[in-house]
Amino acid sequence: MANYSYIPREYLPNLKTYKYNAVDKSLISKYVLKEYWNQLVKIFPLTMAANMVTLLGFLHVVFAFLVNLWYAPELNEALPSWVYYLYAACIWIYGSFDAVDGKQARRTGTSGPLGEMFDHGCDSLSVTASSLLMLLQATSMRLGQTWWTVAFVASGLANFYMSTMEEYHTHVLYLGYFSGPVEGIILATVGFIMTGALGSGIWLSLVRDHIPLVPASLAQLLPAINFGQLIVVLIVCGLVPTVLASLHNIMLACCAERKSVFAAYADSIPFISVLTSMYIWLYNSPLLRTQHLVLFMTFVALAFSYIVGRVIIAHVTKAPFPKLNRMHVPLFIGTANALFPALFGADKPFDGAKELGLVYACLIYAAIQYGHFVLSVIDEICSYMDINCLTIKHPKKAQ
């Protein structure tokens, strides 16, 4: 594993030809936040590398997640108002830093195809940050260790994977008018501020009790879901047209390049396998879902970050799309363990405390594997491009 290369040597020259291509239709980015970002980037010294800006933003999410582990391990606790405000500040800083790292690269004269590729490769950190962010949001909405939290996080992972898969096949990153990462950061920040001001109890109120102009007798016929659960329903429903749009764009790109559409759609198998394994494991191990969901979802977040990171690297190096890999192994082991009673009529090989130990082992494995992937890719790219990761090795005239 120490000598394993994630970028085959024959694909390294493609690093020099990579060009970041995005279609950003976000009205908020263009007309509201553009000037804010232009002023924000000026606080960073010209000696600071753009990747350091990205890393500093990511660390704010990690800090907020650690605070959440201390105050809300069950994802259902009512927290002091200042904690929600802290979450809002950390998430806003993360989104702001992520938005200006490209500007910092241009200010320091380190932009260009290679710099853009390296910055895009760091998006694997954003996958982890997004997963941790959704657990923070689940806490603020008092979703608890339930299927609602699982569905909420899974919808975010699905959206990220489909956009990454779409970019691989179309060579373009599409950001919608109101459905891009900027809008997600704004909604999360506003949600945390609102929770801090009004209390987390606002998310526990039943929706049917607050529908105007509807008789109480008719309102009682509606599902008994609260506002936090309603948010999950809306996000899952909104995911459907987003996925369909991604599949449509992939189909158009494949037809234009005369490639197999079916083969391109099959590239969703790595994620579908993660989603299926996660569901089967949690369904057959209710104690994990109701008592150790944060631990389990942290493991899944690291595993997913690795899987998507492999796709990102394949995209920027024009390598074949990565299929099932070693990070799927712990998921498949857990799934097989969960299905053991149904398949063989016997107790699970890992049950009770042993299964919890299995999850811990999977988390450690995922952390080591993901860490090795990040450090190895950074080393390969830096060595080939003769650059440093977090410092500017060859200062150029600032633009």
Rounded distance, CA 141 to CA 201, Å? 8
What pTM does this model have?
A: 0.90
H-state helical runs in the chain: 27-28, 34-40, 50-71, 81-107, 113-121, 123-140, 147-170, 181-198, 216-219, 227-257, 261-265, 269-284, 286-291, 293-317, 328-344, 353-385
Quick check: 146 pLDDT over 80?
A: yes
Give percent of the chain with pLDDT exceeding 90. Answer: 49
In the predicted model, is pLDDT for residue 15 greater than 80? yes
Average pLDDT over the chain, rounded to whole? Answer: 87
Tokens 């104690």 belong to residue: 287
Give pLDDT tens digits for 322-381: 988 889 999 999 999 999 988 888 888 998 889 999 999 999 999 999 889 888 888 888
Question: Distance (Å, rounded) from C-alpha 192 to C-alpha 364?
Answer: 31
- Please report, rounded to a whole number, the percentage of residues in the chain having pLDDT higher than 70: 91
pLDDT-derived band at 399, boundaries 50, 70, 90: very low
Residues in the chain: 399
Residue carrying structure tokens 């890393």: 55
What CA–CA distance (Å, rounded) separates 17 from 11?
Answer: 11
User: What is the gyration radius of the CA atoms in the chain, in angstroms?
Assistant: 22
Sorting pLDDT into bands at 50, 70 and 90, what band is 206?
confident
Lowest-pLDDT range of 1-15, 61-75, 228-242, 308-322: 1-15
For the chain, the structural domain boundaries read: 15-204+229-385
**Better-scored residue on pLDDT, 180 or 138:** 138
pLDDT at position 218 is 75
At 127 the pLDDT is 67
Q: Please identify every residue annotated as catalytic.
A: 120
Which pLDDT does position 126 carry in this prediction?
64
Pairing of strands 22-24, 173-175: parallel
Q: What is the pLDDT of residue 398?
A: 45
Task: pLDDT band for 1, please (50, 70, 90 cuts).
Answer: low
Per-residue pLDDT tens digits for 210-266: 787 667 777 777 788 999 999 999 999 988 998 999 999 999 999 999 999 999 999
Give the pLDDT of residue 121. Answer: 54
pLDDT at site 40: 94
